[in-house]
Amino acid sequence: MCGDDFRKEFGPNGRLTVTGWVCLSRMITYKEGLMYGSWQIRWHHVFDVRFVLALMYNSYSLDFEFMNTMMSFEALGYRLQWTKKLMLPVPYHNSWSLYVVDVDEKTLLVMDPCETSNGEDAMKLKHEDNANHIIEGLRRCIHENIAGWYVPAQGWRVNYNVGMHPNSKMEFTGLYIYNPLTKNRLHYFWQMIAYEVISMRGNKAELPDFMLEMVPF
């Protein structure tokens, strides 16, 4: 991602797109790598959003070699089959949701901040087909790329996180949640995320000028 891309994603009035989410997932993986070190057993893995988009829209013609670059031991530094929760950020219906897969329990939990108070039926109508689509695509990727890890096709349950808080209103980014977060808290979190992304190990460029006012010391 070049400096101009960074400004569009994380700068003033920035709008987070797939490019920004790729950076976020890498940042999370990098920071957790610092925390876990060489320890191979992880509680969760957050997938690259490109992986999720492929499951959603190209599941019948998946490029397994490309998918493997986002799930193999060589790519991640740990074994996906040793994680408890597989987390997938899902861009869907003009907002972002999070799907959490537990392969051992054969469950997928849908967390959608825009539907939480509308009841399970409304959330099911919105997400059920997409959730089942992702389960099937994920199974195929695992069987193709990770030897010895069998994921059954039958017995899966899709659960919905409802009744947690009033509906949130989303703008364009998936990060601007007006209720219950305040504008000041959101601005601070946005600054924190931008700083964490640009300060990852491996970045060699100097901070852009606008970042000098955003670094949250």
Radius of gyration in angstroms for the set of CA atoms belonging to the chain, rounded to a whole number: 18
The whole-number pLDDT of residue 185 equals 72
Whether the pTM exceeds 0.75: the reply is no
DSSP state of 197: H
Within the chain, strands assigned E span 42-46, 83-92, 95-102, 107-111, 157-160
CA distance 113 to 93: 12
pLDDT single digits (tens) 71-101: 999 988 889 999 999 999 998 887 889 999 9
Read off the tokens for 1.
């991602």
Give the whole-angstrom CA distance, residue 115 versus residue 198: 32
With CA atoms as reference, report the closest residue to 21 among 47, 57, 55.
47
**Angstrom distance (rounded) from CA 160 to CA 175:** 21
pLDDT at position 155, please?
Answer: 95
Distance from C-alpha of 17 to C-alpha of 20, rounded to nearest angstrom: 5
pLDDT for 7 equals 72
Distances (CA, A) of 132 to 118, 159, 182: 21, 11, 35
User: Which pLDDT belongs to residue 177?
Assistant: 47
Both tokens of residue 205? Answer: 């460029």
Q: Any idea which architecture 18-168 has in CATH?
A: 3-Layer(aba) Sandwich (3.40)
The residue ranges of DSSP E strands in 83-215, in sequence order, are 83-92, 95-102, 107-111, 157-160
**Partner residues linked to 109 by β-bridges:** 100, 159
Residue 22 confidence class, pLDDT cut points 50, 70, 90: confident
Q: Which of 26-40, 49-63, 90-104 has the lowest mean pLDDT?
A: 26-40
Residues in Cβ contact with 54 at an 8 Å cutoff, skipping those fewer than 6 apart: 62, 63, 66, 67, 137
Residues 104-153: tens digit of each pLDDT = 999 999 998 777 767 788 889 999 999 999 999 999 999 999 999 999 99
Q: CA-CA distance, 88 to 102, in Å (whole number)?
A: 12
